[in-house]
Amino acid sequence: MRCQWQTWTMPENMSAALPEADAYASWRPDGAYALDKTLGILRRGPGDPTIKLTGSRAWLCFHTPGGPVTLALSRTGGLSPTIELRAWGPGAGEAIERGLHLVGAYDDWSAFDDRHCPVTLPAVVAQSRRFNRGLRFPSTGRVFDALLPAILEQKVTVIEANFAWRYVCEAVGEVPPGPAPADMRLPPTPAAIRSLQTWQWHQARVDARRAATAVRAAAAAASLERWGLLELGARRENVAGTGTLAAALSSIPGIGAWTVAEVLQRTHGSADHVSVGDYHLAAFVGQVLTGRRVDDAGMLELLAPWSGHRQRVVRLIGLSGHRKQAFGPRLAPMDHRRH
């Protein structure tokens, strides 16, 4: 898939609003492109202080090996859009160098869209794909930034998880460089997570199990980050021998298949990893594809014909407009006051 940066000139209407960037570039997608849907998977709730999304503008704050960065992305144009990226801070150059990965420029849907594919997509998935041609899968390459919020989401409600992520970001996340909105924060560093006190985990409404897993992940973060820039499934030699990023993540107590899938969907734009073990996903997929609820085994059986693209099918189902039927008791928020 051919992807190439173009020289970028700051539009007049934007230069007046924002200071000159430390690094900038632009990219013209080959076809439709939806900025909000592409980057939406990176946001942990509408109050996520590390990322802000509108239909045509995105702000992201994160750490790079060279230092922190604030990245502004804009989508201009109609049927032939241009994606403009501007970055501020010590990590600006590195953020721009990885920019094509972040915006999903290397995410190739051609095999999935091949009309000669031997498997016919269900009508609901095919229709969702027609309405979501601009969807791409981003690849951040930042393992700990994806792993920490995934740990906080384990076996709790979305409301609890989003509150915990927002709390730790505001408690120990630093103020980003450049003209980022005032309420934005950098994701917590591994050192910052290891510094959190018990009372802070309590205030974040994070139980001892998830807190301990987060601390273990923070201790292993330096090793995990070395996997971030490798191709998904690539193997490398480490102290324990030869393994993959999925194996490295799974070796940390408290991290299972669900968390691994949630991480790889963001760090490497995995088109196939499915979040097995999710409280709602299997029942929802079964409901949409067959009209009845299924368990994880049933969901994997339904998705098997699209091996290699199972996550694409899941994402398109999620964007189809269908909603999970609500039966029985909901998962209740946990009370951590006596834990």
CB atoms within 10 A of CB 262: 23
Provide the pLDDT for residue 9.
37
- The CATH number assigned to the domain holding 305 equals 1.10.340.30
Does residue 96 fall inside a structural domain? yes
- Same structural domain, 151 and 298: yes
Token couple for 91 = 């990590």
- Tell me the percentage of the chain whose pLDDT exceeds 90: 78
Containing domain of residue 195, as a range? Answer: 143-318
- Same structural domain, 93 and 178: no
**Mean pLDDT of the residues in the chain:** 89
Taking only the tens place, the pLDDT of each residue in 13-27 is 444 478 999 999 999
* Whole-prediction pTM: 0.89
| Mean pLDDT score, 198-209 | 97
Does residue 171 fall inside a structural domain? yes
Spell out the residues 6+ positions from residue 59 whose beta carbon is closer than 8 angstroms to its own: 51, 52, 70, 71, 72, 73, 180, 181, 184
Taking only the tens place, the pLDDT of each residue in 207-247 is 999 999 999 999 999 999 988 877 766 655 443 334 689 99
Using the predicted structure, report yes or no on whether residue 316 has a pLDDT greater than 60: yes
Say whether 236 sits in a helix, a strand or coil. strand
Spell out the residues 6+ positions from residue 321 whose beta carbon is closer than 8 angstroms to its own: 128
pLDDT band at 5 (very low <50, low <70, confident <90, very high): very low
- Same structural domain, 101 and 152: no
- Same structural domain, 219 and 270: yes
Does residue 125 fall inside a structural domain? no
